[in-house]
Amino acid sequence: MKLLDGKICAESLVADISKRVAGYVESGLRKPHMTVILVGEHAPSETYVKSKIKSCENAGFDSALLRFPESITESELLAAIAEINADPVTDGLIVQLPVPKHIKPQNIINAIDPEKDIDGFHPTNFGRMTLGQKAFRPATAYGICKLLQYYEIPVKGKHCVVIGRSNIVGKPISIMLSNDFDIGNATVTLAHIETPRALLLDETRRADIIVVAVGIPGFVTEDMVKDGVVMIDVGINRLENGKLVGDVDFENVSRKCSWITPVPGGVGKMTVAALMINTLMAYQNNFDLA
Ligand code: NAP
């Protein structure tokens, strides 16, 4: 078993980005700029936002963190987004999810200018990605593709099983792996909560690559996979003892894997790296750079 090390891969991608940014700055352009909106107090979101801001520093980007109280209304938040949409200095905008319950996340996602939507959640980007057109690809799914590419894992022609169909992970990765993309052209099965257990087992036991994003610790067990499987664990679950684990029973499943992502240090790092790639793309679009 070998580790698909998201930390090493992300550092390499961000180092490449920082070199390109240094070149742009030398030629007289401003730095790329990411703005993050954080609403309320949510410990995991604080951690994710911190790591995004830190990664901006490493990439040579400017960044801004705008904090709003839990009590902000949806229309106030939409007004703040409209202001950033109109700000020529912001290349990429993220509204950290989840937002408080009184705010509809889809209304927030829909309000972000698609040209600044570096999370790739806006229907315009999601639609363009699905059609195989140039788009900001959803960051976690894009990060997974970049990780597979970095470790030269063959995807074309392989049988992939994606477990979980959320709009931010399961659905986009299933589309991206099946599309005729640089990392794609696989035959993909998408499983979800209504997938009968026996069918799920049939599929996972013959899968070459499994991507699991259900948010259930230890969901994928040893008996569900074949020898040599490539295992991508998207889950981030905090146990009562404070330990962070994925959706895979790592200790037992990893013995059967050819490759596996660790948690932490796997897909999470790649999500942040993909945001940096998308921000650079937004900046290059703004300045008509190749
Ligand atoms: P989500 O919105 O809760 O979606 C979970 C998906 O899993 C749903 O589609 C659900 O099916 C499916 N599911 C739940 N129980 C299942 C079962 N028993 N069998 C088959 N499918 C089942 O979660 P998410 O946002 O995709 O996140 C999933 C996990 O990834 C979480 O642990 C989250 O923290 C983590 N995550 C990590 C990153 C990263 O960067 N590493 C990024 C995002 C999320 P239904 O649609 O039918 O309900």
Mean pLDDT of 17-40: 98
- Domain 139-268 part of CATH 3.40.50.720: yes
User: What does the pLDDT read at residue 290?
Assistant: 73
- Say which CATH topology domain 29-113 has: Rossmann fold (3.40.50)
* Atom nearest to 215 CA in ligand 1: 32
Distance from residue 3's CA to the centre of ligand 1 (Å): 22
The separation between the first and the last C-alpha atoms of the chain, rounded to the nearest angstrom, is 39
Q: Which residues belong to CATH 3.40.50.10860 in the chain? A: 29-113
* Atom nearest to 44 CA in ligand 1: 34
Q: Which residue has the tokens 């993220």?
A: 94
The angle that helices 123-130 and 170-178 make with each other, rounded to 10 degrees, is 30
Averaged pLDDT of the chain? 97
Structure tokens at 80: 């703040």
Does pLDDT of 189 surpass 80? Answer: yes
Mean pLDDT of 8-28: 98
Would you tell me how many other CB atoms lie within 10 Å of the CB of residue 156? Answer: 12
Does pLDDT of 130 surpass 90? Answer: yes
Does pLDDT of 209 surpass 90? Answer: yes
User: What does the pLDDT read at residue 239?
Assistant: 95
Give the predicted TM-score (pTM) of the model: 0.97
Q: Does 169 sit in the ligand 1 pocket, CB within 6 Å? A: yes
| Ligand 1: residue whose CA is nearest its atom 35 | 235
| Ligand 1: residue whose CA is nearest its atom 19 | 193
Mean pLDDT of 191-218: 98
Q: Which of 5, 91, 96, 247 is catalytic?
A: 96
Q: Does 96 sit in the ligand 1 pocket, CB within 6 Å? A: no
Mean pLDDT of 32-55: 96
* Residue 119 bears catalytic tag: yes
Distance from residue 216's CA to the centre of ligand 1 (Å): 8
Distance from residue 165's CA to the centre of ligand 1 (Å): 7
Q: Does 196 sit in the ligand 1 pocket, CB within 6 Å? A: no
Does pLDDT of 45 surpass 80? Answer: yes
Q: Which of 119, 208, 233, 249 is catalytic?
A: 119
Distance from residue 98's CA to the centre of ligand 1 (Å): 14
Which band of pLDDT confidence, cut at 50, 70 and 90, is reported for residue 223?
very high
Q: Which residues belong to CATH 3.40.50.720 in the chain? A: 139-268
Q: Does 191 sit in the ligand 1 pocket, CB within 6 Å? A: yes
Would you tell me how many other CB atoms lie within 10 Å of the CB of residue 37? Answer: 22
Which band of pLDDT confidence, cut at 50, 70 and 90, is reported for residue 145?
very high
Which band of pLDDT confidence, cut at 50, 70 and 90, is reported for residue 257?
very high
* Atom nearest to 270 CA in ligand 1: 40
SS3 70: coil
Among residues 285, 283, 278, 272, the alpha carbon closest in space to that of 6 is found at: 272
* Atom nearest to 213 CA in ligand 1: 28
Does pLDDT of 241 surpass 80? Answer: yes
**CA dihedral sign of residues 139, 144, 202, 129:** positive
Query: What is the tens place of the pLDDT at every residue in 92-111?
Result: 999 999 999 999 999 999 99
